[in-house]
Homo-oligomer: A and B are copies of this chain.
Amino acid sequence: MDAMNTESTETNAGRSPAAGPDGAPDDGLEDVVFDVFARGCPSRPTMEHVTGRWGGLVLVALADGDMRFNALRRRVDGISEKMLAQALHALERDGLVVREVKQAIPPNVEYRLTEFGSGVVERLSGLVEFVEANMAGVLAAQQRYDEAKAAAEA
């Protein structure tokens, strides 16, 4: 993946298979390049859903198996109903999660990872575990940083 700087003006998305100046074979599909570094690229919002404050936690929670709304709510400590619903909508829209309704009373709804969702979770949970495993070092670094900063003022 490369840079693609549209410094000047408006939002440029993952660039369209822009027709070259000449007569190259223009199949015009498939070979679009997406780049998170570009301001207008559609991958930006999707990355935010995946890595955002709640989206990531919801996804990783679903790695343990399908879950119902309130189960998720309990598992992701601190999330509000509103934000959970919002996160699930975004993830469903992006094709990371499927919502499965079992007609019954009382209502029974389960959320499940798609194949793509599983791929994302696999990588995401690797990251989470790596960070968790190194938190002791992080805490130490923070303390050093704060002390240095405090010492700088006096």
Contacts and interface: CB of A to CB of B under 8 A. Distances in A.
Interface of A: 1, 3, 5-7, 14, 30, 32, 34-39, 42-43, 46-48, 50-53, 56-57, 60-61, 74-78, 92-95, 116, 119-120, 123-124, 126-132, 134-142, 145-146
A93 to B, nearest CB: 4
Contacts of A51: 51-52, 56, 127
A135 B129 CA distance: 25
A77 B39 CA distance: 5
A58 B137 CA distance: 21
User: Quick one: copies of this chain in the complex?
Assistant: 2
Nearest to A95: B141
Dominant SS at the A interface?
helix
A9 to B, nearest CB: 10
A133 to B, nearest CB: 8
A123 B126 contact: yes
A37 B72 CA distance: 11
A131 B92 contact: no
Give the 6 A-B CB pairs with smallest separation, nearest first. Answer: A95-B141, A51-B51, A39-B78, A123-B127, A39-B77, A93-B145
A50 B93 contact: no
